Amino acid sequence: MMTETVVNVQEAPNNNATKPQPGGGAPRQGTNESPVGWIKINIEYFKTTPGILKLVEFIFGILCMALASPAYYSGTHFFLFVATTSFIFTILWIFIYLLGIREALKLPINWILSELVNTGFWAILYIVAFIVQLIIASGTHPILYFRDAYIAAGVFGLFNAIVYCFATYLLYVEMKRNQTTN
């Protein structure tokens, strides 16, 4: 004889269905807020001049890293270090603006000043790095195969330095404008 097993499934109560209001009011019915509900995708920022500059920095950073590798000379190692670390910081700023972290976090951070210092720092390092890279690439090398790529990397480093300098200028103007309005 066969035995029969019966399974009864009850629907678990939805813990998110009755969420108390932050001010102590009545709970809201049927809210499904995610734990990352504070994140808002902000594509509109990348239609502005600072957003476009960040994307250009990102693209030029990829080109600099691709053209300067492999690094056979110490100057190219420095250039790759600057290109890679500035690329990482640019990605961080892209995510800060893309996810709206700047608006979501209520921290006493002067975001414009911190971005100004960051962008200005990378502008100065890119100026030094592209000069070093072009000096290295213009010398005589036993490996001539990479010479053209190294020169192209230095030129794109120059372009990226110009973009970083212009972004620094725009951030400086924005910071001064915010100081006069406060």
Instruction: Of 2-16, 34-48, 113-127, give the range with the top mean pLDDT.
Output: 113-127
Range in 20-34, 121-135, 140-154 with the lowest mean pLDDT: 20-34
Model pTM greater than 0.85?
no
- Phi, psi for residue 29 in degrees, rounded to 5: -95, 135
Range in 28-32, 58-62, 142-146 with the lowest mean pLDDT: 28-32
Tell me what pLDDT residue 64 has. Answer: 95
Condensed to tens digits (0 to 9), the pLDDT of residues 47-100 reads 999 999 999 999 999 999 999 988 888 889 999 999 999 999 999 999 999 988
Tell me what pLDDT residue 10 has. Answer: 65
Query: Can you list the pairs that 94-99 forms with residues at least 24 positions away whose Cβ atoms lie under 8 Å?
Result: 94/54, 94/55, 94/58, 97/42, 97/45, 97/46, 97/51, 97/54, 98/41, 98/42, 98/43, 98/45, 98/46, 99/39, 99/40, 99/41, 99/42
